């Protein structure tokens, strides 16, 4: 009798000790496995990202509230280990000492804080730099979602109709955040000087330089390609763009002749004795005066090799005016005295973008086509400077991020190739547009290349229908329960339950999403809904918006357009002077140059 009682107590003790946790763990594992089972036919694979997927990919564990979650998780894990060990040794009596429980919880919290501090110093702080803010999502508490720096190098697209928060939600807050980071930024401002006045003060408050390249602003610095170390082939690509190999033979011949004559004219201008004349506006002035002025300049230059090159051009003199006209059309932006003055002096060193944190704001107003061409010229020059060193590491300089607002208004022929190679140079691109149909300036294969190399896509309210349809098909389908009841006078009612597929998100749901909401499409992650932040409303950014700002100017002297009359050519009658340059230019004339 005593042996039977001992066996019963022994079995109860064993069940209440180590075997209890094994049994509970096995039951929980069975429940999780059964709940995670998927249909064998592979249907209904579309779903939203889980909370853990979101936090592991987009969470910043160096900031609140994820720092609080991390400490609680570490402390709970340590407490569970200690309580489990005590329960295995003492059984239920381990819970009968409240004072010991308080001590265990206090020690666990202290150790959790210490472990989190170690993780913060070793890992989390490194991942906290240069993140891109995507919005907020409530996971118990509002959590800020952001991309790490390495994902920014794989480019971002923000798409939505006007007034949905592209600038206020995804440009200004991020530029304010970058002011606290360790990077440089190039911003295309179509409402200049809005960006300069809104976010420039945040960079000034951190002791960083702000450069405003706006030919019509008094703080605009000078920029000159011919005075830099860039080769003539790079200068040719910056000014004339890529060669169009799909054109007919006549167009290709004229294009080759224009490029060759342009390089020779640049070499001719670079040989002038007066450094103020060594600039692209002087190439325009030389082409404006025609063949006779070009012959006079070649006659009095001191380079026999260059004179020999020009002799080949002069042998085909009947075609030379047509070739000069093509160059003149492409350099027509320098007919504006303000733009000519902005490109007449080498104040701006583009290598400075990689040496220290700088905010470069480039004005590109829709109302001024020539100013947009000037912005395109400077952007191409920066891209060519990135090409000079296509592979960069952290030791080679700072990362560089482009913010191209309404970039479809500019024609950047190298953008597709640049997007392919920018990642290895630690350069990221953020593009803002309203519809994919706006990319008509680019060839179809270039549009596909830009889209393929964009890892993160943010869809806002009012996306165009082709984009909504593409996203709806991309997110897959989910299963819904379809319950049907059939009634018959012979057999009564029969209930049939089945599962049918429906799109996870329909075109209508994407197109008419609530205002202030964003749909995040990130490579390798299921779709995520997020709430936009605002530089006007979010307190974190509102207090740093509109601070006092002062533009950085390497040279304080005012810019003046170069004048051809200052050219010192010996002998003969002086060439006709250039048109007078007034300090206040009139309204811009003409449309955009075709093929620019």
Give the count of beta carbons closer than 10 Å to the beta carbon of residue 1: 5
Structure tokens at 335: 């007919």
User: What radius of gyration, in Å, describes the C-alpha atoms of the chain?
Assistant: 33
Using a cut of 0.85, tell me whether the model's pTM lies above it.
no
> Which of the residue ranges 437-441, 463-467, 565-569 has the most confident prediction, judged by mean pLDDT?
463-467
Among 183-187, 209-213, 255-259, the least confident range: 255-259
Please give the pLDDT value at position 18: 52
Same domain, 276 and 357: no
Residue 519 has pLDDT above 90, yes or no: yes
Residue 541 has pLDDT above 90, yes or no: yes
Q: What is the CATH number of the domain that holds 389?
A: 3.40.50.300
Q: What share of the chain in percent tops pLDDT 70?
A: 85
Provide the sign of the torsion angle of the four alpha carbons 491, 495, 499, 504, taken in this order: positive
Same domain, 249 and 105: no
The residue among 312, 339, 366 that closes a domain is: 339
Same domain, 185 and 329: no
**HSE-CB of 378 using CA atoms within 13 angstroms:** 33
Residue 594 has pLDDT above 70, yes or no: no
Higher pLDDT, 31 or 439: 439
Residue 56 has pLDDT above 50, yes or no: yes
219-245 tens-digit pLDDT: 999 998 876 655 677 777 777 777 777
Element (H, E) at 502: strand 492-503
Residue 564 has pLDDT above 80, yes or no: no
| SS3 at position 137 | strand
Please give the pLDDT value at position 229: 54
Please give the pLDDT value at position 19: 53
Region 391-416: mean pLDDT is 86
Please give the pLDDT value at position 33: 59
Please give the pLDDT value at position 589: 37
Higher pLDDT, 49 or 2: 49
How high does pLDDT run on average in the chain?
82
Give the count of beta carbons closer than 10 Å to the beta carbon of residue 495: 8
For residue 592, being part of any structural domain is answered with no
The residue among 74, 94, 127 that closes a domain is: 127
Question: Helix/strand/coil (H, E, C) string of 210-256?
Answer: EEEECCCCCCCCCCCCCCCCCCHHHHHHHHHCCCCCCCCHHHHHHHH
Give the integer Cα–Cα distance in Å for 595 and 330: 9
Residue 567 has pLDDT above 60, yes or no: no
Residue 57 has pLDDT above 90, yes or no: yes
Give the integer Cα–Cα distance in Å for 258 and 255: 5
Provide the sign of the torsion angle of the four alpha carbons 119, 122, 127, 128, taken in this order: positive
Please give the pLDDT value at position 385: 87
Same domain, 13 and 67: no
Predicted confidence band at 569 (pLDDT cuts at 50, 70, 90)?
Answer: very low
Nearest Cα to Cα of residue 199 among 533, 541, 553, 532: 541
Pairing type for strands 141-147 and 209-213 reads unpaired
Nearest Cα to Cα of residue 562 among 378, 342, 267: 342
Same domain, 298 and 326: yes
Region 45-51: mean pLDDT is 90
For residue 525, being part of any structural domain is answered with yes
416-458 tens-digit pLDDT: 888 888 889 999 999 999 988 888 778 888 888 888 889 999 9
Residue 20 has pLDDT above 80, yes or no: no
Please give the pLDDT value at position 582: 39
Region 546-562: mean pLDDT is 89
Please, are residues 502 and 472 in contact by the beta-carbon 8 Å criterion?
A: no
Supply angle C-alpha 424, 425, 429, rounded to 5: 95
For residue 482, being part of any structural domain is answered with no
Higher pLDDT, 343 or 95: 343
Predicted confidence band at 41 (pLDDT cuts at 50, 70, 90)?
Answer: low
For residue 498, being part of any structural domain is answered with no
Cα–Cα distances in angstroms (integers) from residue 391 to residues 81, 279, 424, 427, 555, in the given order:
48, 30, 5, 10, 32
Same domain, 187 and 239: no
Please give the pLDDT value at position 592: 32
For residue 89, being part of any structural domain is answered with yes
For residue 587, being part of any structural domain is answered with no
The residue among 295, 317, 339 that closes a domain is: 339
Same domain, 184 and 239: no
Q: The domain containing residue 2 runs over which residues? A: 1-29
Please give the pLDDT value at position 570: 41
Nearest Cα to Cα of residue 415 among 380, 458, 372: 380
Give the integer Cα–Cα distance in Å for 342 and 541: 33
Residue 576 has pLDDT above 50, yes or no: no
Please give the pLDDT value at position 568: 46
Predicted confidence band at 249 (pLDDT cuts at 50, 70, 90)?
Answer: confident
Among 15-24, 41-50, 57-66, 279-288, the least confident range: 15-24
| Helix %, strand %, coil % of the chain (to 5) | 50, 15, 35
Same domain, 388 and 525: yes
Give the integer Cα–Cα distance in Å for 561 and 581: 7
405-417 tens-digit pLDDT: 888 877 777 788 8
Give the integer Cα–Cα distance in Å for 595 and 242: 10
Same domain, 326 and 378: no
Report how many domains make up the chain: 4
Region 68-72: mean pLDDT is 93
For residue 590, being part of any structural domain is answered with no
For residue 335, being part of any structural domain is answered with yes
Same domain, 277 and 397: no
Same domain, 400 and 448: yes
Residue 24 has pLDDT above 70, yes or no: no
Region 522-537: mean pLDDT is 93
Q: What share of the chain in percent tops pLDDT 90?
A: 37
Please give the pLDDT value at position 365: 87
Give the count of beta carbons closer than 10 Å to the beta carbon of residue 564: 20
Structure tokens at 86: 């005590």
Among 89-98, 251-260, 437-446, the least confident range: 89-98
Higher pLDDT, 9 or 61: 61
Same domain, 332 and 363: no
């Amino acid at each position: 009798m005593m042996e039977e009682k001992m066996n019963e107590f022994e079995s109860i003790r064993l069940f209440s000790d180590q075997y209890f946790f094994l049994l509970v763990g096995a039951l929980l594992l069975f429940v999780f496995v059964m709940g995670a089972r998927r249909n064998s036919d592979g249907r209904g694979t579309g779903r939203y990202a889980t909370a853990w997927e979101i936090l592991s990919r987009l969470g910043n564990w160096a900031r609140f509230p994820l720092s609080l979650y991390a400490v609680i998780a570490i402390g709970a894990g340590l407490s569970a280990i200690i309580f489990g060990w005590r329960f295995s040794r003492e059984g239920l009596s381990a819970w009968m000492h409240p004072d010991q429980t308080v001590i265990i919880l206090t020690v666990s919290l202290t150790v959790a804080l210490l472990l989190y501090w170690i993780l913060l110093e070793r890992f989390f702080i490194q991942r906290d730099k240069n993140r891109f803010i995507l919005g907020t999502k409530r996971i118990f508490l509002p959590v800020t979602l952001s991309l790490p720096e390495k994902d920014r190098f794989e480019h971002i697209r923000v798409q939505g109709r006007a007034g949905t928060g592209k600038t206020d939600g995804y440009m200004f807050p991020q530029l304010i955040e970058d002011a606290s980071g360790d990077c440089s930024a190039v911003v295309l401002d179509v409402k200049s000087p809005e960006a300069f006045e809104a976010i420039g003060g945040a960079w000034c408050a951190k002791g960083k330089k702000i450069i405003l390249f706006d030919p019509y602003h008094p703080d605009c610095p000078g920029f000159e390609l011919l005075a830099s170390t860039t080769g003539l082939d790079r200068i040719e690509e910056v000014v004339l763009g890529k060669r169009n190999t799909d054109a007919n033979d006549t167009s290709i011949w004229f294009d080759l002749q224009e490029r060759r004559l342009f390089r020779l004219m640049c070499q001719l201008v670079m040989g002038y004795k007066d450094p103020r004349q060594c600039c692209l506006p002087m190439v325009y002035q030389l082409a404006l005066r025609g063949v006779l002025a070009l012959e006079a300049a070649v006659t009095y230059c001191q380079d026999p090799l260059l004179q020999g090159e020009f002799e080949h051009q002069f042998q085909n003199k009947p075609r030379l005016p047509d070739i000069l006209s093509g160059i003149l059309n492409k350099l027509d932006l320098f007919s504006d005295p303000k733009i000519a003055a902005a490109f007449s002096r080498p104040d701006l060193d583009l290598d400075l973008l990689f040496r220290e944190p700088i905010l470069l704001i480039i004005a590109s107003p829709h109302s001024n086509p020539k100013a947009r061409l000037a912005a395109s010229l400077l952007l191409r020059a920066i891209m060519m400077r990135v090409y000079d060193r296509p592979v960069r590491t952290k030791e080679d300089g700072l990362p560089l991020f482009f913010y191209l607002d309404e970039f479809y208004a500019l024609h950047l022929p190298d953008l597709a190739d640049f997007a392919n190679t920018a990642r290895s140079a630690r350069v990221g691109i953020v593009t803002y547009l309203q519809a994919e149909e706006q990319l008509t300036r680019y060839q179809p294969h270039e549009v596909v290349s830009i889209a393929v190399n964009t890892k993160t896509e943010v869809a806002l309210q009012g996306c165009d229908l082709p984009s909504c349809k593409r996203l709806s098909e991309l997110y897959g389908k989910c299963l819904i329960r379809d319950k049907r009841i059939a009634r018959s006078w012979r057999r009564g009612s029969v209930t049939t339950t089945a599962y049918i597929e429906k799109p996870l998100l329909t075109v209508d749901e994407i197109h008419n999403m609530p205002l202030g909401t964003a749909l995040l499409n990130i490579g390798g992650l299921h779709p995520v809904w997020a709430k936009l932040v605002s530089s006007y409303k979010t307190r974190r950014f509102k207090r740093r918006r509109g601070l006092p700002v002062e533009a950085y100017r390497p040279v304080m002297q005012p810019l003046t357009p170069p004048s051809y009359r200052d050219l010192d050519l010996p002998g003969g009658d002086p060439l006709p002077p250039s048109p007078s340059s007034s300090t206040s230019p009139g309204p811009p004339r003409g449309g955009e140059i075709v093929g620019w």
